[in-house]
A and B are shown apart, each in its own frame.
Chain A
Amino acid sequence: MNLPKIPLANWIEWLETWLENHLDPLFQFIRLVVGKTVNGLDVMLNWFPALVLIVIFGALAWYIGKWKMGVFTLIGLLIIENLGYWSQTMQTLALVLTSAFISVLIGVPVGILCARSNKTQKIVTPLLDFMQTMPAFVYLLPAVTFFSLGVVPGVISSIIFAIPPTIRLTNLGIRQVPEELVEAADAFGSTPTQKLFKLQLPIALPTMMAGINQTIMLSLSMVVIASMIGAQGVGAYVYRAVTQGNTGVGFEAGLAIVILAIILDRLTQQVIRRTKAN
């Protein structure tokens, strides 16, 4: 039997064009807000002299973690500065922080909605599976169509790729609150909102923080891919080194990403540990 091929590719492209034609004002608005946020952050981070910022970050790490954390941050950032990737690394940090921030802003409420309704969870879960398993490159094309080249489509595709852990673990954290505690909150006459803020969120917080930590790590892993569509930053150096076969530069820029990743990961882990201890 010879069935005709489903014209899925055509449908998707039709949908892309339709969205581009009808939702353009919305996309322009998002482009403006996200672009301003990343650029603002970028300008702010690069406004400080590198050494001042390095000391500030080191002190912050010391304050949140232990002195070892502070020393590692200090040395790590000095290496980045020494290799000459400081300004690009701050651009990357601005991109990562923006997409992580927007992911949390959207992900936490969606996670709460999932935890409250099994129906919502049933709809959202397969969507998240889809978002995480679809190769991230595929998001780049529509992102460019809607938001044109630059850092904004990079942030948007990072969010799509990085938001699932925040949603999943917010949902999980709230659902894991022991049944008898929820019952106690009900027995004393809590409204659903009181129950959420006085019981469920505080108890779910360590789990939610684990999700946010993963979200930050995933958006960091997107920076090289995002540079393919014009996002500036240290990722662009890696991408260029790969296309030019320049192992040395690739390694240097890659190392900057690794250092940034370790610092962000250890810092958020430390925050999780602290919320657990309380």
Chain B
Amino acid sequence: MAIIEAKRLTKIFGTDPKKAIPLLDKGWSKEKILAETKLTVGVNQASFAIEEGQIFVIMGLSGSGKSTLVRLLNRLIEPTSGEVLFNGTDILRMTPEKLRQFRRKNVGMVFQKFALFPHRTVIQNIEYGLEVQGIEKNKRREMAMQSLELVGLKGWEHSYPNQLSGGMQQRVGLARGLANEPDVLLMDEAFSALDPLIRKDMQDELLELQAKMKKTIVFITHDLNEALRIGDQIALMKDGSIVQIGSPEEILMQPANKYVERFVEDVDLSKVLTASHVMIKAETITLERGPRVALQFMRDRGISSLYVVDKRMHLLGVITAEEAVNAIKNGRSLEEAMEREAPTAVSETLLHELFELMSNSKFPVSIIDDSGRLKGIVIKGAVLAALSGNSVMEDGER
């Protein structure tokens, strides 16, 4: 079951917002509703499900309603209609006291402008959520310290927020969001105010934390590269509506409409796609077959090299047609004749990291798993095809 599920979640701003609901049902646009009723559609019937342990990215340009949407999930903004189910319970039906408990125990939040309390020290900021729960002082200090260590700020606990850099402040924000060990962490443009380099570090750290703690994270951003980098699922928003939900690959390779297509056309695919997207099956031969069989094999398939593996597909080397011919002439074995220095990479390697490997070698890059088994190879043509936006999934032979 999904940990969070939104069903036709809608927010209309203005007086008497309910009257816009039937208009949305009729399919009126945001502009038309504003012109006719002076009501602003913030979020238009958003439906989605977030699985436990996922990073769910909500992305869109400013004014697309993404920040409103995330605030509907913990009712910082009261939805006009729809449902938000948390583990099956509708949070819109919660009493104020139930809602407070939900916010204290189940959901943490990190804000774009950090929103640290300036009159409290770092550690006092982090323990705020525990303090309002009434957790006893020593216990909450201990929990806050753990959270502080998690974000790598040990030693700064007695500083005030204005003594820290932007990146450090947001680490405090993150630690505060994590201190009460919530099931879900809402991050509203959490890294948008940071310098590009620091932002990348923070993304890496978030991914690391996520791998360790398996938190469910709802991450809001206007930066497509950020979305593609950290998202397991991405929901793309425009004018308050969700235009497409899918994995990063689906968004890139199968845009749902012209808007998404235009949105993703400038993406540097080499920093998003990994070797696994473009690799093709390798033609292999086992060691004991010898050079003659290898040469015959290459002739039959019309190729100029073969990958030499053992019976369990561990990569041993590469043999070219030329070397095979030489080996037959000189009576050498396949093992003696093969090239052992062929470049290798793992399937998570990003394409732009493969460029150098490929340019320095006459062989395709072979892709191996952790134990050295050959998974496939990456040839130049497939990389170029992927970068030009042609779907590799369709014509690649995976």
A joins B in a complex: yes
Whether A180 touches B111, Cβ cut-off 8 Å, given contacts A187-B76, A189-B101, A203-B119, is yes
A246 neighbours in B (Cβ, 8 Å): none
Q: Quick check: B119 and A189 within 8 Å, CB to CB?
A: no
A186 to B129, CA, bound (A): 10
Whether A181 touches B128, Cβ cut-off 8 Å, given contacts A188-B103, A188-B109, is no
Stretch in A30-38, A194-202, A216-224 touching the partner: A194-202
B107 neighbours in A (Cβ, 8 Å): 187
A131 to B176, CA, bound (A): 46
A61 to B155, CA, bound (A): 37
Whether A188 touches B119, Cβ cut-off 8 Å, given contacts A183-B76, A183-B111, A198-B131, is no
A199 to B129, CA, bound (A): 13
Q: Shortest beta-carbon distance, A197 to chain B, in Å?
A: 11
A194 neighbours in B (Cβ, 8 Å): 132
A181 to B161, CA, bound (A): 13
A184 to B176, CA, bound (A): 10
B229 within 8 A of A: no
Q: Shortest beta-carbon distance, B72 to chain A, in Å?
A: 13
Q: Quick check: B76 and A189 within 8 Å, CB to CB?
A: no
A184 neighbours in B (Cβ, 8 Å): 109, 111, 115-117
Q: Quick check: B103 and A199 within 8 Å, CB to CB?
A: no
Per-position 1/0 for B94-136, Cβ under 8 A of A: 0000011111110111011101111100000000110111000
B132 neighbours in A (Cβ, 8 Å): 188-191, 194, 198
A82 within 8 A of B: no
Q: Quick check: B104 and A180 within 8 Å, CB to CB?
A: no
B115 neighbours in A (Cβ, 8 Å): 178, 180-181, 183-184
B101 neighbours in A (Cβ, 8 Å): 189
Q: Quick check: A188 and B104 within 8 Å, CB to CB?
A: yes
A191 neighbours in B (Cβ, 8 Å): 100, 132
Per-position 1/0 for B128-156, Cβ under 8 A of A: 11011100000000000000000000000
Q: Shortest beta-carbon distance, B158 to chain A, in Å?
A: 14
Select which of B109, B117, B118 is within 8 A of A187 by beta carbon: B109
A112 to B7, CA, bound (A): 39
A2 within 8 A of B: no
A199 neighbours in B (Cβ, 8 Å): 117
A180 neighbours in B (Cβ, 8 Å): 111-113, 115
Q: Number of contacting residues on B, CB 8 A?
A: 28
Q: Number of contacting residues on A, CB 8 A?
A: 18
Whether A189 touches B103, Cβ cut-off 8 Å, given contacts A181-B115, A203-B118, A203-B119, is yes
> Looking at chain B's contact residues, is the secondary structure mostly helix, strand, loop, or mixed?
mixed
B180 within 8 A of A: yes
B344 within 8 A of A: no
Closest to A202 in B: B119
A198 neighbours in B (Cβ, 8 Å): 128, 131-132
A202 to B99, CA, bound (A): 25
Q: Quick check: B133 and A181 within 8 Å, CB to CB?
A: no
Q: Shortest beta-carbon distance, A51 to chain B, in Å?
A: 40
B366 within 8 A of A: no
A180 to B180, CA, bound (A): 20
Per-position 1/0 for A11-49, Cβ under 8 A of B: 000000000000000000000000000000000000000
Per-position 1/0 for B75-107, Cβ under 8 A of A: 010000000000000000000000111111101
Q: Shortest beta-carbon distance, B108 to chain A, in Å?
A: 8
A190 to B176, CA, bound (A): 14
A181 neighbours in B (Cβ, 8 Å): 115, 117
Q: Shortest beta-carbon distance, A48 to chain B, in Å?
A: 37
Select which of B99, B113, B118, B128 is within 8 A of A188 by beta carbon: B128
Select which of B76, B102, B133 is within 8 A of A186 by beta carbon: B76
B104 neighbours in A (Cβ, 8 Å): 188-189
A244 within 8 A of B: no
Closest to A194 in B: B132
A184 to B103, CA, bound (A): 11
Per-position 1/0 for A157-195, Cβ under 8 A of B: 000000000000000000000101101111111110010
A188 to B74, CA, bound (A): 10
A178 to B118, CA, bound (A): 11
Q: Shortest beta-carbon distance, B184 to chain A, in Å?
A: 12
Q: Shortest beta-carbon distance, B174 to chain A, in Å?
A: 13
A189 neighbours in B (Cβ, 8 Å): 99-105, 129, 132-133
Residues of B within 8 A of A (CB): 74, 76, 99-105, 107-109, 111-113, 115-119, 128-129, 131-133, 176, 180, 186
25 A-B contact pairs sorted by A residue (CB < 8 Å): A180-B113, A180-B115, A181-B115, A183-B111, A183-B115, A184-B109, A184-B116, A184-B117, A186-B76, A186-B103, A187-B74, A187-B76, A187-B103, A187-B107, A187-B186, A189-B100, A189-B104, A189-B129, A190-B100, A191-B100, A191-B132, A194-B132, A198-B131, A202-B119, A203-B119
Apart from A180-B111, A187-B108, what 6 extra A-B contacts exist at CB < 8 Å? A184-B115, A188-B132, A190-B100, A190-B132, A194-B132, A278-B119
List the 10 closest A-B pairs by CB distance, nearest first: A189-B104, A189-B103, A188-B129, A184-B115, A187-B109, A180-B115, A189-B100, A202-B119, A190-B132, A194-B132
